[in-house]
């Protein structure tokens, strides 16, 4: 087992793979000057004041004071570099064609009638126009699950799309397009099999017409609570309509489909300094295999790629894709400015405890989950993709906001990398958990699906863990395996991204 990881020749720091005491000779002639916690950095050379601190071959920051060879480098010891400009970024200068051969080319999915990517689950999704209906709908869903769903064994679940949007909001504000688009596109999610069902209150700002289109606003699809005569009538209307939809969904069957019909989302959260060494590069390898086989993979999280945006631009296949990337970064820079914060607001206390000094270091690890393949499209938050291959969707990095954005984009499942651990999950699509270090898997053996920890210790390669993850993705997409979050029903509230005013 190795004691430290140095990522590129240019790096002047390395990361320890376990807690190491002061005075240990970690490599010939290099004695540690401090206790170094697991995943934290130590200096490989003397670094002068204002000297570059380099990891991933990239400048993470500049030393605030001189740092001695063998000393611990923590988040208090470096100054952030200037964020890279998004003007005139070179594009197409790093187009990788020789991707690893995928061992499987098909999966068992639910074909979408509208030609969009396939579904991975068969779910009755009940859309809502406004938060006011949640209490009633939750009681109805409980009843449907208990009394009606067992009659339709081919349907996996009934899910209420509850959210905090819909009324008391500036519905015509320019930025209202974000939450509205998200809810419109979630209603079209392939796991819902094209069966539309909406519960509305009757006086909200987000009307049924606006949510699902006037042509779909019929008694065959919609229950309006204010039109029901009392609570029992509300229950009867919701359960009655649900039963009609369940009978249709019950006829859906999986069929063997090419991987070009699969859309996979990638996210990370609770990252540590190993995320960029083990879990994210393994996910990147699986992503390369998926793209090689014709699948579409989406990665996101603007504040976590902003400091490495030039590495994304160089993989863009056209000036148009590069320009959309730049526009999305500018929008987010302005959004953060308006809130009087900057990107230094990103790393969390847990990230820092996990050895991530700043957002540059976090970004380099985050981007690793996108692998190496060309970037064919850039999306605004919650937009639906139109291309096949690697896609960048410019969502917030917050786990519980990125998740619903990717769901709106139509992901069949999400792969979630973590260093510190989170039980996060989505009700409408499976979430696979991949951890960066063995200790995390030992702590949560029955929450984490796949550990990339053996990459840290040198016992497995990125290719081995990446291939294992690829196969698990195909099995979960095909319904033959369920990740732990799905087995337990661990589902987070749908936190819809709303940068527009609340009234």
Q: Which residues of the chain form contacts with Ca ion (CB under 5 A)?
A: 269, 397, 399
Q: Tokens 């979050």 map to which residue?
A: 485
Distance of alpha carbon 475 from alpha carbon 211, whole angstroms: 33
What is the smallest separation between the CB atom of 201 and Ca ion, expressed in angstroms? 32
Nearer to Ca ion, 11 or 301 (CB): 301
What is the smallest separation between the CB atom of 301 and Ca ion, expressed in angstroms? 5
Number of residues in the chain:
503
Q: Tokens 């010891």 map to which residue?
A: 77
Nearer to Ca ion, 61 or 265 (CB): 265
What is the smallest separation between the CB atom of 496 and Ca ion, expressed in angstroms? 16
Distance of alpha carbon 491 from alpha carbon 484, whole angstroms: 11
Q: Which residue is nearest to Ca ion (CB)?
A: 269
Nearer to Ca ion, 399 or 486 (CB): 399
Strand order in the sheet with 222-224: 157-161, 123-128, 198-200, 222-224
Nearer to Ca ion, 127 or 498 (CB): 498
For residue 1, the Cα-to-chain-centroid distance in whole angstroms is: 31
Residue 5, C-beta contacts closer than 8 angstroms, at least 6 positions apart: 14, 15, 17, 277, 456
Distance of alpha carbon 457 from alpha carbon 465, whole angstroms: 13
Nearer to Ca ion, 292 or 370 (CB): 370
Nearer to Ca ion, 286 or 293 (CB): 286
What is the smallest separation between the CB atom of 363 and Ca ion, expressed in angstroms? 12
What is the smallest separation between the CB atom of 60 and Ca ion, expressed in angstroms? 20
Distance of alpha carbon 415 from alpha carbon 175, whole angstroms: 28
Nearer to Ca ion, 118 or 401 (CB): 401
**CA diameter of the chain:** 82
Q: Count the helix, strand and coil residues of the chain and give each as a percent rounded to the nearest 5.
A: 35, 20, 45
Distance of alpha carbon 467 from alpha carbon 238, whole angstroms: 44
What is the smallest separation between the CB atom of 24 and Ca ion, expressed in angstroms? 34
What is the smallest separation between the CB atom of 391 and Ca ion, expressed in angstroms? 17
């Amino acid at each position: 087992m190795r004691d430290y990881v140095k990522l590129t020749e240019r790096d002047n720091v390395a990361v320890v793979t376990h807690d190491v005491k002061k005075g240990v000779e970690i490599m010939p002639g290099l004695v540690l000057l401090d206790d170094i916690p697991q995943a934290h950095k130590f200096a490989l050379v003397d670094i002068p004041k204002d000297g570059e601190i380099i990891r991933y071959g990239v400048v993470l920051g500049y030393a605030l004071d001189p740092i001695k060879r063998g000393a611990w480098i923590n988040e208090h010891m470096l100054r952030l570099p200037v964020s890279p400009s998004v003007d005139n970024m070179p594009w197409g200068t790093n187009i990788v064609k020789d991707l690893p051969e995928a061992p499987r080319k098909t999966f068992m999915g639910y074909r979408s009638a509208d030609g969009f990517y396939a579904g991975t689950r068969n779910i009755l999704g009940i859309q809502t126009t406004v938060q006011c209906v949640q209490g009633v709908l939750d009681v109805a869903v409980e009843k449907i699950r208990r009394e009606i769903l067992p009659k339709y064994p081919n349907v996996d679940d009934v899910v209420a799309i509850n959210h905090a949007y819909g009324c008391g909001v500036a519905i015509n504000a320019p930025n209202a397009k974000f939450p509205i688009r998200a809810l419109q596109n979630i209603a079209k999610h392939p796991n819902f099999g094209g069966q539309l069902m909406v519960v509305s209150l009757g006086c909200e700002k987000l009307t049924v017409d606006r949510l699902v289109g006037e042509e779909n606003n019929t008694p065959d699809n919609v229950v309006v609570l204010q039109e029901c005569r009392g609570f029992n009538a509300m229950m009867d209307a919701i359960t009655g309509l649900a039963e009609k939809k369940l009978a249709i969904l019950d006829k859906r069957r999986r069929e063997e489909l090419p991987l070009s019909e699969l859309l996979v989302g990638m996210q990370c959260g609770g990252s540590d300094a190993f995320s960029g060494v083990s879990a994210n590069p393994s996910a990147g390898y699986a992503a390369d295999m998926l793209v090689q086989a014709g699948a579409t993979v989406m990665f996101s999280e603007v504040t976590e790629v902003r400091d490495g945006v030039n590495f994304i631009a160089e993989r863009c296949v056209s000036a148009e894709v590069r320009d959309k990337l730049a526009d999305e970064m500018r929008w987010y820079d302005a959004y953060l400015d308006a809130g009087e914060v900057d990107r230094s607001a990103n790393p969390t206390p847990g990230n820092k405890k996990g050895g991530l000094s700043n957002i540059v270091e976090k970004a380099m690890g985050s981007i690793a989950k996108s692998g190496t393949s060309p970037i064919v499209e850039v999306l605004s938050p919650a937009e639906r993709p139109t291309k096949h291959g690697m896609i960048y969707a410019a969502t917030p990095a917050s786990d519980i906001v990125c998740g619903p954005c990717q769901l709106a984009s139509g992901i069949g499942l999400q792969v979630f990398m973590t260093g510190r651990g989170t039980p996060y999950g989505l009700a409408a699509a499976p979430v696979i958990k991949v951890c960066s270090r063995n200790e995390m898997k030992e702590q949560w053996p029955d929450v984490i699906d796949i550990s990339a920890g053996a990459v840290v210790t040198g016992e497995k390669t990125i290719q081995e863990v990446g291939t294992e993850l690829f196969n698990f993705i195909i099995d979960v997409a095909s319904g033959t395996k369920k990740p732990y979050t799905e087995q337990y029903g661990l589902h987070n509230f749908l936190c819809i991204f709303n940068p527009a005013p609340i009234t």
